[in-house]
Amino acid sequence: MEQNVTQDAVPAAKPGERIPTVIADDVHIVYKVYGAGAGKGSATSALSRILRKKASPALTEVHAVRGISFTAYKGEAIGLIGSNGSGKSTTLAAVAGLLPTASGAIYTQGQPSLLGVNAALMNDLSGERNVVLGCLAMGMSYAEVQEKYQDIVDFSGINEKGDFISLPMRTYSSGMSARLRFAISAAKSHEVLLIDEALATGDAKFRVRSEKRIKELREEAGTVFLVSHSNSTIRETCERTIWLEHGKILADGPTDDVVKEYEDFTKKK
Ligand SMILES: Nc1ncnc2c1ncn2[C@@H]1O[C@H](COP(=O)(O)OP(=O)(O)OP(=O)(O)O)[C@@H](O)[C@H]1O
């Protein structure tokens, strides 16, 4: 099984030179689902299978990504589009190094960050403590966190309607937590930033702010991947788009062409 290969330093670009940041080479991703058959997951049936030395009949494989290849370059914002279950989120998780590939390999320059520092955020702690935790988890120093704290809170807009930042995160709506997560992740420049539908959760005002921030992040450093079902967000944010269907790439090119092709496809369905 191939693992993601990450190299740390991104070399400086010579004028006009394009630097690859993510290379996916014939990537296949297969989920293994255990206990999928009714009644087959009980302790007694497992014991009887062990005693009879029979393989579990209840293992189902879902071949979510089927041989995709692409190269992303520094400074690019790439949209990922496609119908439900086409493999967009799976592809992002694999680029982030969170899913192993069944075959093929993904090479990345620098550490890709999947937007959402979910793992580090804790529902019982206040938004304020979570900002500090999330930033430290992304590798910022305590001094850096203090310097950026107010900007993060202002960007998230959490305090627009009262002092919510001092309340536990479990009291936030799903949109509010998504905004805070985005604000924390976007406070740092990422070499490869992966965003899954994050913009869809905010209101119109927040969407404008986050689109602006994505543009800045692109200029500051790396490559942005954005998964979205909103074709207008993809058009406004990305100049290149990859269209996935049934785990395969159907088109990869300038956003206007690819989104148009996808729109024609969805109209015909
Ligand atoms: N944890 C999992 N275990 C098993 N199968 C999964 C898992 N996550 C996703 N899948 C399957 O992998 C395929 C691709 O799913 P994925 O979530 O990547 O699609 P998507 O394009 O992001 O969809 P959506 O637009 O609905 O978010 C689907 O068939 C889905 O059922």
Pocket test for ligand 1, best of 61, 86, 95 (most atoms within 8 A of CB): 86
User: Which residue's CA is minimally distant from atom 19 of ligand 1?
Assistant: 85
Q: What is the pTM of this model?
A: 0.77
Average pLDDT for residues 69-80, to the nearest whole number?
94
Ligand 1: nearest atom to the Cα of 247: 14
d(CA 94, CA 9): 21
pLDDT for 144-185, tens place per residue?
999 999 999 999 998 888 889 999 999 998 888 888 888 888
* Residues in contact with ligand 1 (CB, 6 Å cut-off): 31, 33, 62, 64, 82, 84-90
Burial class (CB in 10 A: 0-12, 13-18, 19+), 54: exposed
Q: Which CATH superfamily is domain 5-115+186-268 in?
A: P-loop containing nucleotide triphosphate hydrolases (3.40.50.300)
The domain spans of the chain are 5-115+186-268
pLDDT for 2-43, tens place per residue?
445 555 554 555 666 789 999 999 999 999 988 665 455 567
Q: ipTM of this model? A: 0.97
Angle at 1 between CA 56 and CA 94, to 5 degrees: 100
CB atoms near residue 109 (< 10 Å): 23
Q: Sign of the C-alpha dihedral, residues 110, 115, 119, 123?
A: positive
Pocket test for ligand 1, best of 31, 34, 244 (most atoms within 8 A of CB): 31
* Lookup: tokens for 214: 């994505």
At a CB cut-off of 8 Å and minimum separation 6, what does 174 contact? 201
